[in-house]
Amino acid sequence: EVIDSNEYVEDEIAYKIGKLEGNYCCFDNEIFDLRHKFRIDVSLLDKLRHKHFVKYPSRLSILKKIDSLINEDFLILPDDMINEEVSSISWTEYNNLVDSFPTSTTVKYYIDKLVGEKIEEFFELKKCYDDELEKHLQKTSRISSSNILFSPEIDCEITQAEIYKFTQALFLLKNILEEEIISEKEWQNNILDILLLIYPQYQIIIDEVGLSNRRRVDFVLVDLFNNIDIVEIKTPEKRLLKKSKYRDHYVPSHEFTGTAMQIEYYLRELHENSSANVQKIKHKLLEKGFNSEVKINNVKGIIIMGRTNGFNVEQQETYRIMKNQYSNIINIISYDELLDMLERILDRFQKNGISNKQN
């Protein structure tokens, strides 16, 4: 390759640490001072970093320490290639193993504890070294706990997918809130899709469920334990509070009061005639290929309607009282709160990823 004389070229040093054997790289036993054969799948070579070989600041050889503890050869494979018939460790688990190696600080605390236990039989100690070690371990555990579930690579992949998903949901909700003409059915379907993203405990939705008293529930949600909840979706134009005050206080609108009463009637009917209503719900679920037994147990309602961003202080207080008043049976969500939830979830993924690690 021809390089311009004015171009800066960073020097690189390459070390030979092993050789290829089929689909594996076999680490050099002499270089690493190993008794057993250590191999890694070639697809993982570009992921290797210095931390996978040496623990700093103690400069402990990770491979040599593992070698001193095992009684057979060591093999690192991609997560999706693990075979229980062959002794091996996945790449994710190897990273977890590397992260579990104690630092020199942890070793110091542990030595202080062991020596302190002997000395305190004869002399008074400056402090309780058992407690010092425990505090240190708790501190390091908090720092590293976010890495237990996923490797950084998997965390990044899932995070990007979640960011894309919730960005699209936020874009959709903002768009339909600005549209002047949209059918009620399309509106409700869009909101239900967003609702399932925010509340992933629900696995399926059915609509137009007739109850035994001939009342018809707009939507029934079935959660992962096959319990049901019900949803009423009104448009954002439907007011939550009356415009004018009643005796110097803002009060719920007729539209909201009617919707809340409707939900309460549904809930009472579901519980009083649970057997008959379970059969009606089950029949509707079978049309969607859902064949599990559903349960009517502590059913709650969800009302989605209205806007709240324009509320003044008094209106905000009335709305808070309304939500608390119905909280045991109905979850009230305004469209502005729905937007806020999506933005907060998106912000969480953008800042912390899946691990919820604070940056």
> What is the pLDDT, as a whole number, of residue 142?
62
User: Would you tell me how many other CB atoms lie within 10 Å of the CB of residue 251?
Assistant: 15
pTM above 0.75, yes or no: no
Categorize the per-residue pLDDT at 155 as very low, low, confident or very high, splitting at 50, 70 and 90: confident
The residue among 164, 58, 39 whose CA lies nearest residue 111 is 58
Range list of H helices, the chain: 29-32, 62-69, 91-100, 104-119, 129-144, 152-178, 184-198, 254-272, 274-286, 313-326, 335-352
Alpha carbon 11 to chain centroid, angstroms:
42
* pLDDT above 90 for 221: yes
> What is the pLDDT, as a whole number, of residue 103?
77
Q: Which of 71-80, 143-152, 197-206, 214-223 has the lowest mean pLDDT?
A: 143-152
Highest mean pLDDT among 140-149, 207-216, 335-344 belongs to 335-344
**CA–CA separation, 20 vs 8, rounded Å?**
33
The residue among 345, 329, 328 whose CA lies nearest residue 337 is 345
More confident residue, 72 or 141: 72
Phi and psi for 188 in degrees, rounded to 5?
Answer: -65, -40
249-292 pLDDT, tens per residue? 899 999 999 999 999 998 988 888 888 888 888 888 998 898 88
* pLDDT above 70 for 149: no
* SS3 category, 232: strand
> What is the pLDDT, as a whole number, of residue 344?
94
161-198 pLDDT, tens per residue? 999 999 999 999 999 998 877 788 888 999 999 999 99
299-324 pLDDT, tens per residue? 999 999 999 999 999 999 999 999 99
CATH topology (fold) of 155-352: Restriction Endonuclease (3.40.91)
Domain boundaries of the chain, sorted by first residue? 18-100, 104-147, 155-352
Q: With pLDDT > 90 as the criterion, what percentage of the chain qualifies?
A: 45
Give the mean pLDDT of the chain.
86
* pLDDT above 80 for 32: yes
233-257 pLDDT, tens per residue? 998 999 999 988 888 889 999 999 9
Q: Are strands 330-333 and 301-304 parallel, antiparallel or unpaired?
A: parallel
